[in-house]
Amino acid sequence: MSPEEANRHENLRSVYEQYYLHARHVENERLWFTNIFAAIVAGILAYMSQAGLTWYACSFLILLSVLGLLMSHALRISFIKYSRMAEIVVRREWKLQDYSVFYAKKKAESPYPSGEERAKLIDLSQIFHVFYILVCSLSIVLLIRAFGSERLVWSILTAVISVVMLSLFYRRRLYKFENEAYRKMGEIDRKDDAEI
């Protein structure tokens, strides 16, 4: 192996490692944020069980839940970009298509235009989003109860409406950004395959 090839191989290894490590870092960030979020929610619920329902604690939970949903989404987009770029390095530069995790071994095997293998019914990022949506909906119900509504029907109706509205927001708005990230990574992969 010539010194140029050895240097190129070492540079590719560094690039792959940085993409991979950054993807793992993003996943760890999301887990830590969710752990902290869950501890705060548990603390506020424990406080309200002792002190009674307060509108400011419920409002804080709503705000924190919405921010958590947006944070989880932003970290998901970063994870898609970095993990797929690491895989593109493996597929294109090292010709290790058989070791693909995210992309189909052959384009013809994938029903998606990007070549992405997304056959899972639900993935972990969607579970995170559902968690934040449910906590936000619970907080809205508690807020209504804090303002004195004792009717169970109103609380159940509000919970259902808030879950539906937040789910629609996720599916209509946030999911588009995720699909756009998949599409862009698929274009890079296709472009790389055409150059090989």
Lowest mean pLDDT among 41-55, 89-103, 111-125: 111-125
Specify the pTM. 0.80
Contact 30, 75 (CB under 8 A): yes
How far is the C-alpha of 143 from the C-alpha of 152, rounded, in Å? 13
Q: φ, ψ for residue 55 (rounded to 5)?
A: -65, -35
* Alpha helices, DSSP H, located in the chain: 3-51, 55-88, 124-146, 152-169, 175-195
Amino acid of residue 160: V
Q: Where are the domains of the chain?
A: 3-195
For the chain, give the percent of residues with pLDDT over 70: 86
Q: What is the pLDDT of residues 56-89, one digit of tens each?
A: 999 999 999 999 999 999 999 999 999 989 988 8
Mean pLDDT over 90-99 rounds to 80
Mean pLDDT over 100-116 rounds to 59
Q: What is the pLDDT of residues 110-154, one digit of tens each?
A: 555 555 655 566 778 889 989 999 999 999 888 888 887 777 777
Strand-pairing partners, residue 116, are 103
For the chain, give the percent of residues with pLDDT over 90: 40
How far is the C-alpha of 64 from the C-alpha of 165, rounded, in Å? 17
